[in-house]
Chains A and B, each alone.
Chain A
């Protein structure tokens, strides 16, 4: 099933941001109508498009992965294909702009459509675009594959093998007939309105063969209108016979809707007076220590910082803290240090702060008070403070004698509406549902908790019967085997499909930009429609994982190798780009030894998701996020447990590399 989960309002919020007016084609990527242009999106720009033509419906996530490199993932349903049945296709497009327009020279781009398979949409192209003034842009290009199928001019690099749609076939790139395409776009004086016309080099061969579709003309015409920046509508008259429409919502992590940094500033720091006392004998008193910590608790809580554990020595204070509010951990660390510089007696020279995430102590950040006083407000405070701050893997606890938060057991819950969209797949009608999700967490100690999650379908446009789903009911225990080694055990109803036991170990030293994980689980499949029922299928799955934060444009990679739920063995490769403010766009693909014939649509699993921090849209501090994900999960091949509390996602924001990237917030 292809679906969005959850559909929050954030993408719409993203849509009303002041994005630049990119020109999108009918397939959701930058382009004319069916033909591409040499234009690419601004770096980080993220757009979600929904398009409908007489022959197909598609949803596309377009993302500027790196400057000049545009990616687009399409999930397309062609109404009639071989045998008169629909074709469900997911495909990846890449476009790289080689030259940006400069003076008399046009911009030039090279592109690949349906890059990962030699399938129905596979094509390659080289295209140039030039703004000739008065808002007019001319585009011309040469296409291969599907884009070389109408009125080809030559086959300069030899013949092309028939499309197989079974995998990447690098040998076929730029092979076969090549055809010319081109077009014109006029950005009219009416704000947001542009007109387009193009000559298409696509013969729509498959549609003609399988659905009786008969294009009458290679010329297509369109109107694009952006009523507000970030929202784009398109209407098109294509092939002399057909109409198409498009809606695109876009946003950019680099252009937040609300001004960043709006709110209360940090506590001003004043240096200790000359000749201050270094006498720390007061710390010998348990009462004095506890009084100081008790006084800090409400001050920090006002900024969403919860002290879990604390110790005070004659020259240091050590805090284990939870950050419930600030999107950036480094900002929290800076604010704690500033407050301590005001609150602590002069003898306290070292501030050691350890963020706790998901119940686990992460990295201890040691700040020398003398350095803080010497650096604050100075021009080079950022780089200098990074040089003088120490980072070490934290022990699991500060010890038996430490002050500990007296708040367990702790109960929390949430209730949130969701609006999943199901696509027309497998003969089912497309539907929009209203789902109410209720989650609760009962934390017995910092590392041990019970978690449950229920979903109730309140309304389904397809008329499906409302039903209550138990998404998760687990007992979870997290712990540290060593300062750089984390562990987790979860048992119960692990996800909507399986129940059992799932265990995980992660080795991830804070000073290292990579980590290794091992996950093992023994599960039994749950019966669909029966909340506590099981069928006879059992499985043991296990994965070894490599996590790598490249440090390059926020790109992170993950490779999982192991045995999937259906018993197939293979690999999942995940790639994500994370922005400092929490935006994340990610994609994955799994390839296993399951034969393509039984794997399910697409022959291998793939999916994309966008995570948007609410701080990007809201004028107050919050760590909440929302987002959209889309994947093909029809087949059994490549299926994994949907574990809600895997270790690496909970810990990846707390290592030295991540702190380095966001260290500017330390002084905010």
Chain B
């Protein structure tokens, strides 16, 4: 089993910094750089996630799990760059998303550097189910020799299934399941998306590279520009 969402280094990181936390600059850095005590190394019983807690948090949040692993983790939106939202866990592992398209991962055991999407990509841009295209293309970029790294270009066929409903932390959504079958450059994978009538995807399974495989994501609180 692949060890993921590890706490490795977090204790050292905190320890090294805890003795010099008085400078304003340091405090400013720490608020962004360092995970808060509540986010790291749980010492008590696991706190049950409720809708009330999500709302109180006030941040866009996702729950993520690497397929094949038992433990999921909650990541909160931390930065916004040109529409790309980076969600960070308590152990500073991160997932970056454009819309609901995972465009980057860090620290999970095989980084996805970036993703180039087509203008009509319904996962990256909010698109009503009726308007989802039948076919799209994407470029996935992974670490490799040179600044460009290894680029994997895939073509994906999208198909819808019968509407259903799902419940995510006390809220039930009526969704249309979409299956996206992709192949190209020696890889093939199948992503799934559950989108409501506005096109908001609430649950998804996405391929993020050979090393990590699939990420299962639930959108607990979607990112909004405001």
Q: Which of B68-119 contact A (CB under 8 A)?
A: 78-82, 84, 86, 88, 91-94, 96, 103-104, 106-111, 113-117
Q: Is A663 an interface residue (CB 8 A)?
A: yes
Contact between chains at B19 and A268 (CB < 8 Å): no
Contact between chains at A379 and B10 (CB < 8 Å): no
Digit string of A634-668 for contact with B (CB within 8 Å is 1, else 0)? 00000000000000000000000000111111111
Residues of A within 8 A of B142 (CB): 664
Contact between chains at B109 and A302 (CB < 8 Å): no
Interface 9-residue window, one of B20-28, B126-134, B162-170, B190-198: B20-28
Interface 9-residue window, one of A82-90, A109-117, A258-266, A437-445: A258-266
Given contacts A267-B33, A664-B143, contact A620 B107 (CB under 8 A): no
Q: Is B12 an interface residue (CB 8 A)?
A: yes
24 A-B pairs (CB sep. < 8 Å)? A259-B2, A261-B107, A261-B110, A262-B6, A263-B107, A264-B8, A265-B107, A270-B79, A294-B20, A295-B20, A296-B29, A302-B16, A342-B32, A343-B29, A376-B81, A377-B86, A377-B96, A379-B117, A379-B141, A380-B114, A380-B116, A381-B114, A619-B6, A664-B142
Q: Which of B13, B17, B29 contacts A339 (CB 8 A)?
A: B29
Contact between chains at B78 and A377 (CB < 8 Å): no
Q: Which of B78, B92, B116 contacts A379 (CB 8 A)?
A: B116
Residues of A within 8 A of B42 (CB): none
Contact between chains at B28 and A343 (CB < 8 Å): yes
Residues of B within 8 A of A43 (CB): none
Residues of A within 8 A of B10 (CB): 264
Q: Which of B16, B111, B115 contacts A301 (CB 8 A)?
A: B16
Q: Is B44 an interface residue (CB 8 A)?
A: no
Residues of A within 8 A of B172 (CB): none
Contact between chains at B106 and A668 (CB < 8 Å): yes
- Alpha-carbon distance between A668 and B80 when the two chains are bound, in angstroms: 17
Report the minimal beta-carbon distance from B213 to chain A, rounded to whole angstroms.
11
Q: Which of B78, B107, B147 contacts A268 (CB 8 A)?
A: B78
Contact between chains at B29 and A377 (CB < 8 Å): no
> Which 3 A-B residue pairings sit nearest by Cβ, starting from the closest?
A265-B106, A259-B109, A268-B79
Q: Is A269 an interface residue (CB 8 A)?
A: yes
Nearest residue (CB) in A for B95 is A265
Task: Enumerate chain B interface residues (CB-CB to A < 8 A).
Answer: 2-4, 6, 8-10, 12-13, 16-17, 19-20, 23, 25-26, 28-30, 32-33, 78-82, 84, 86, 88, 91-94, 96, 103-104, 106-111, 113-117, 139, 141-149, 211-212
- Alpha-carbon distance between A339 and B31 when the two chains are bound, in angstroms: 12
Contact between chains at A302 and B29 (CB < 8 Å): no
Given contacts A298-B16, A620-B8, contact A382 B149 (CB under 8 A): yes
Contact between chains at A295 and B25 (CB < 8 Å): yes
- Alpha-carbon distance between A382 and B150 when the two chains are bound, in angstroms: 11
Q: Which of A324-366 contact B (CB under 8 A)?
A: 339, 342-343
Residues of B within 8 A of A265 (CB): 88, 92-94, 106-107
- Alpha-carbon distance between A661 and B19 when the two chains are bound, in angstroms: 38
Apart from the given pairs A270-B80, A299-B17, 6 other A-B contacts in the complex at a CB distance below 8 Å: A261-B106, A261-B143, A297-B20, A378-B81, A379-B114, A379-B139
Interface residue total, chain A, C-beta cutoff 8 A: 53
Contact between chains at B20 and A269 (CB < 8 Å): no
Q: Which of A168-207 contact B (CB under 8 A)?
A: none
Nearest residue (CB) in B for A338 is B33
Interface centre among B4, B91, B106 (most CB of A within 10 A): B106
Q: Is A102 an interface residue (CB 8 A)?
A: no
Nearest residue (CB) in A for B92 is A264
Residues of B within 8 A of A661 (CB): 145-146
Nearest residue (CB) in B for A668 is B111
Q: Is A586 an interface residue (CB 8 A)?
A: no
Q: Which of A291, A301, A302, A382 contacts B148 (CB 8 A)?
A: A382
Contact between chains at B82 and A292 (CB < 8 Å): no
Contact between chains at A298 and B26 (CB < 8 Å): yes
Q: Is A385 an interface residue (CB 8 A)?
A: yes
Q: Is A100 an interface residue (CB 8 A)?
A: no
Contact between chains at A260 and B3 (CB < 8 Å): no
- Alpha-carbon distance between A271 and B66 when the two chains are bound, in angstroms: 30
Task: Enumerate chain A interface residues (CB-CB to B < 8 A).
Answer: 259-271, 291-292, 294-299, 301-303, 339, 342-343, 373-374, 376-383, 385-386, 554, 580, 619-621, 660-668
Contact between chains at A266 and B106 (CB < 8 Å): yes
- Alpha-carbon distance between A664 and B142 when the two chains are bound, in angstroms: 8
Contact between chains at A619 and B79 (CB < 8 Å): no
Contact between chains at A270 and B81 (CB < 8 Å): yes
- Alpha-carbon distance between A383 and B143 when the two chains are bound, in angstroms: 12
Given contacts A262-B6, A302-B17, contact A663 B146 (CB under 8 A): yes
Residues of A within 8 A of B17 (CB): 298-299, 302
Given contacts A339-B33, A343-B29, contact A382 B9 (CB under 8 A): no
Contact between chains at A385 and B94 (CB < 8 Å): no
Q: Which of B6, B29, B81 contacts A271 (CB 8 A)?
A: B81
Contact between chains at A298 and B86 (CB < 8 Å): no
Contact between chains at B146 and A377 (CB < 8 Å): no
Given contacts A381-B113, A663-B147, A664-B143, contact A620 B92 (CB under 8 A): no
- Alpha-carbon distance between A294 and B29 when the two chains are bound, in angstroms: 12
Residues of B within 8 A of A382 (CB): 113-114, 141, 147-149
Given contacts A261-B106, A302-B13, A383-B147, contact A667 B3 (CB under 8 A): no
Report the minimal beta-carbon distance from B20 to chain A, rounded to whole angstroms.
5
Contact between chains at A269 and B93 (CB < 8 Å): no
Report the minimal beta-carbon distance from A175 to chain B, rounded to whole angstroms.
41
- Alpha-carbon distance between A178 and B1 when the two chains are bound, in angstroms: 53
Q: Which of B20, B23, B143 contacts A668 (CB 8 A)?
A: B143
Q: Which of B116, B147, B212 contacts A386 (CB 8 A)?
A: B147
- Alpha-carbon distance between A621 and B12 when the two chains are bound, in angstroms: 13
Residues of A within 8 A of B145 (CB): 554, 580, 661-662, 664
Contact between chains at A299 and B26 (CB < 8 Å): yes
Given contacts A342-B29, A379-B141, A382-B141, contact A261 B111 (CB under 8 A): yes
- Alpha-carbon distance between A551 and B87 when the two chains are bound, in angstroms: 37
- Alpha-carbon distance between A504 and B145 when the two chains are bound, in angstroms: 32
Report the minimal beta-carbon distance from B141 to chain A, rounded to whole angstroms.
7
Residues of B within 8 A of A621 (CB): 9
Residues of B within 8 A of A554 (CB): 145
Contact between chains at B9 and A263 (CB < 8 Å): yes
Residues of A within 8 A of B8 (CB): 262-264, 619-620
Residues of B within 8 A of A263 (CB): 6, 8-9, 93, 107
- Alpha-carbon distance between A554 and B146 when the two chains are bound, in angstroms: 11
- Alpha-carbon distance between A302 and B35 when the two chains are bound, in angstroms: 13
- Alpha-carbon distance between A70 and B208 when the two chains are bound, in angstroms: 33
Nearest residue (CB) in A for B140 is A379
Nearest residue (CB) in B for A662 is B145
Nearest residue (CB) in A for B17 is A298
Interface centre among A302, A339, A620 (most CB of B within 10 A): A302
Residues of A within 8 A of B12 (CB): 302
Report the minimal beta-carbon distance from B33 to chain A, rounded to whole angstroms.
5
Q: Which of A270, A298, A379, A386 contacts B115 (CB 8 A)?
A: A379
Contact between chains at B113 and A668 (CB < 8 Å): yes
Residues of A within 8 A of B32 (CB): 267-268, 270, 342
Residues of A within 8 A of B141 (CB): 379, 382
Contact between chains at A264 and B91 (CB < 8 Å): yes
